[in-house]
Amino acid sequence: MTDRERLERAREAATGAYAPYSAFAVGALVVGGSGREYLGTNVENAAFPASICAEANAISTAVAAGERRIEAVYVVCLRRRRCMPCGNCRQIMREFGVDRVVVEGPDGPETIPFAELLPRSFGPEDLSDP
Ligand code: THU
């Protein structure tokens, strides 16, 4: 599947978002280490901090299916073109070794290496003694 097609699937997923408070629908498609793809949308909550982002939901679904590494994350927002993942989602991506994030740029899919999104980050290996 091409980057464009994956972004299109993420866009379709965004139409299922539960975002009554922000009206900001987000869809994500993640590619697991196995090559299988998983979708997620944001799911908000009347207690706002309990809301869950699209990327976090897609990654949770992938992990529940047995994935332990995530290759790529595709993100689409219905209200604007380029939709960058929030800081919390970047940290969740870090746990599973995400290689790249793909968003919709003005001229089509825009690929961002993960290291640019969360440089000098904290990850699983940092819990062990040096
Ligand atoms: N949101 C996501 O789903 N992913 C992000 O990376 C940024 C923000 C959601 C959370 C909330 O439901 C809405 O977008 C507005 O912040």
pTM, to two decimals: 0.97
- CATH number 1.10.150.120 given to 3-127: no
Confidence band, pLDDT 50/70/90 cuts, at residue 130: confident
Domain boundaries, the chain: 3-127
Catalytic residue among 44, 55, 71, 104: 55
Query: How high is the pLDDT of residue 118?
Result: 98
Mean pLDDT over 92-96 rounds to: 98
Average pLDDT of the residues of the chain: 97
Q: Is 69 exposed, middle or buried (0-12, 13-18, 19+ CB in 10 A)?
A: middle
Taking 80 as the threshold, does the pLDDT of residue 92 lie above it?
yes
- Tell how far CA 116 is from the center of its chain: 15
Query: How high is the pLDDT of residue 129?
Result: 79
Mean pLDDT over 69-84 rounds to: 96
Which residue has the CA at smallest separation from atom 10 of ligand 1? 53
Determine whether 55 is an active site residue: yes
Taking 90 as the threshold, does the pLDDT of residue 2 lie above it?
yes
Query: How high is the pLDDT of residue 83?
Result: 93
* Ligand 1, residues at Cβ distance < 6 Å: 19, 22, 24, 26, 42, 44, 51, 53-55, 85-86, 89
Which of ligand 1's atoms lies nearest the C-alpha of 41?
3
CB 42 within 8 A of CB 18: yes
